[in-house]
Amino acid sequence: MYSDFEIRQLPLSIKSCHKKVEQFLAENGLRLEPVDYYAAIFERDSDVMLAGGGLKADVMKCVAVSSTLRDEGLCLMLISHLISTAQARGTTCVKVFTKPENENIFASASFHTIARSDKAILMENGNGLDSYCNYLSTLKQPGENGIIVMNANPFTLGHQYLIQQAAAQVDHLYVILVKEDCSEYSYCERLSMVKDGCLHVPNATVCEGSSYMVSAATFPSYFLKRIEDRTDTYIALDLDLYAKHIAPALGVRTRYVGTEPHDESTRRYNELMKACSHMRVNEIERLDDISASRVRKATTLSSVLTWVPPTTVPHVVAHMAAHALKAELDTTPKPGLVDLVDSGSHTDMDHALMTTSIKTLMQYFVTLAQAGNSQELPDAASIRRTGIEAEKAMLQSTGGVNTHKGALFSMGLTIVAASHLLHKHGHIDKKALQQDIAALAGKLSEAKGTHGAQVLGKVNVKGALAMARSGYEQLFDSWLPFWDQNRHDAHALHKTLLLIMSQLDDTNVYYRCGAAVAQQVKHEAEALLADFTVEKLKDMNRSFIARNISPGGAADMLSLTVFIDTITR
């Protein structure tokens, strides 16, 4: 019978597919939510959708069968396809959030229920939860123990205070992180921050996180009739899973939480948790008004230093560097450069690829910040080693396209120097930052075989290393003051870029177009800065594209200017 049907993937990036799936789900009382993959069942030679379902990482979502054909076999055919697809992508255990009345359908496909609430159940088709609980049981300590579950995005002095206070009240404290990577700081970063920030608490164990912490970010609500039921439903599922599986595995009785004056979902979570008769909850008063959200929103490093422990600072510095790169990338329009609208004079890169590159470099920025977090500047070999590893990772993530090699060099040296000054003095003085950058650059030798090296062999201009050895003199003397004076201008980034273009000997332009064009670019940028309009900037972009001009060096210096402003202001 089922030979009359076929399964087709429906790429939701295509508007017609997106509309078809959205309409089909609506007809069946469901809503479409973000998925990585969506497939549907059709009769052969027909465009009428009979069933559909999707995957978001390891979670099956948006599964529906047409009301005209509520055939359990058809549903199982779809579920089997989604499981096979997930396995082919490396997922060994698939989860599904669904209505309680669908429990038998998924049970017939080898799913079993691991958490339950009135309006939803969580099921999985493997032994993932058992494996995680077995791991937790190996950490089990005798005595009166407690637990904290946190996101730590990033880890603040407030989190550290909560851990210290809770640890003082129990024989042993377990700390578990929400594992989902829906936060600005990745799970690996957050785990590293919490472990480093708890080294001085001897009776605290930071456990590996898992996807068995249900949160607002992971819980799908497509099957709930009322969207307002979402929060209480996901909280009920999470508390049920915790009480039945996580707490027994560790042998804990008390769960510690901090008071929550701002976030409504967290406050509601605490309320429902305290209402559970089978759970003992101890709420600890929040330390001042420190929150991870304030750290994420901070526009200067100086304010952050009073909110996070020293072990978190390298991560914050790295993220501020990445934010500066993203600020330059998102500046639109730009002449000859990749932005939100076009790829400028580049045929091998776009905004998405550049964004991927920035995310890839993040972990190496952290490594560089940690290297500088000492009384003495690190040696050249360690900086070069990290730089080479970062460049390899960047090229691998971009398919061999050099997206940020120049920015990696300038930003990397500055990150190391900044972290060194923070460790040594607790703040960053501009003059001292210049001196440290110059000292680090003095330890490095000129790169060979690069486009910049080829230019330096033909014309008498400063290359990347020479600029660093001068402590980025132009940046501190001209570009940074200009940015500071114009920061409230809606086009401050555009104008600062034009100023840099008018003054910088950009080896990118020299390499692509020669010395005459490089001088012409300076004059054109100076003229546009004197009589700036967005339309004229768009005209310059079209002209640069036609002439294959890309002021990539100026773009790198714009990012560096924004970053140095962030960490010194």
pLDDT digit string, tens, across residues 130-179: 999 999 999 999 999 999 998 899 999 999 999 999 999 999 999 999 88
Q: What is the pLDDT of residue 239?
A: 86
- Residue 354 pLDDT level (bands cut at 50, 70, 90): very high
* Number of neighbours of residue 73 by Cβ within 10 angstroms: 11
Q: What is the pLDDT of residue 3?
A: 65
Closest CA relative to residue 428, chosen from 244, 536, 243, 304: 304
Give the helix/strand (H/E) hosting 98: strand 95-98
- Residue 307 pLDDT level (bands cut at 50, 70, 90): very high
Q: Is the pLDDT of residue 368 over 90?
A: yes
Q: What is the pLDDT of residue 125?
A: 93
**Percent of the chain scoring above 70 in pLDDT:** 93
| Contact of 178 with 208, CB cutoff 8 Å | no
Q: Is the pLDDT of residue 478 over 90?
A: yes
Position 250, amino acid = L
Q: Is the pLDDT of residue 19 over 80?
A: yes
Mean per-residue pLDDT of the chain: 89
Rg (CA), the chain: 27
Q: Which of 64-68, 83-87, 98-102, 537-541 has the lowest mean pLDDT?
A: 64-68
Q: What is the pLDDT of residue 406?
A: 93
User: Where do the DSSP E strands lie in 413-523?
Assistant: none
Q: What is the pLDDT of residue 265?
A: 72
Position 71, amino acid = D
Q: Is the pLDDT of residue 392 over 80?
A: yes
* Number of neighbours of residue 536 by Cβ within 10 angstroms: 12
Q: What is the pLDDT of residue 212?
A: 82
Q: What is the DSSP string of 223-240?
A: T-S-GGGHHHHHHHHHHH
Closest CA relative to residue 156, chosen from 180, 188, 185, 178: 185
Place of tokens 């104008």: 495
Q: What is the pLDDT of residue 221?
A: 55
Average pLDDT over residues 50-55: 92
Q: Is the pLDDT of residue 277 over 90?
A: no
pTM value is 0.87
**25-29, 38-42, 67-71, 328-332 — most confident range:** 328-332
Q: Is the pLDDT of residue 335 over 90?
A: yes
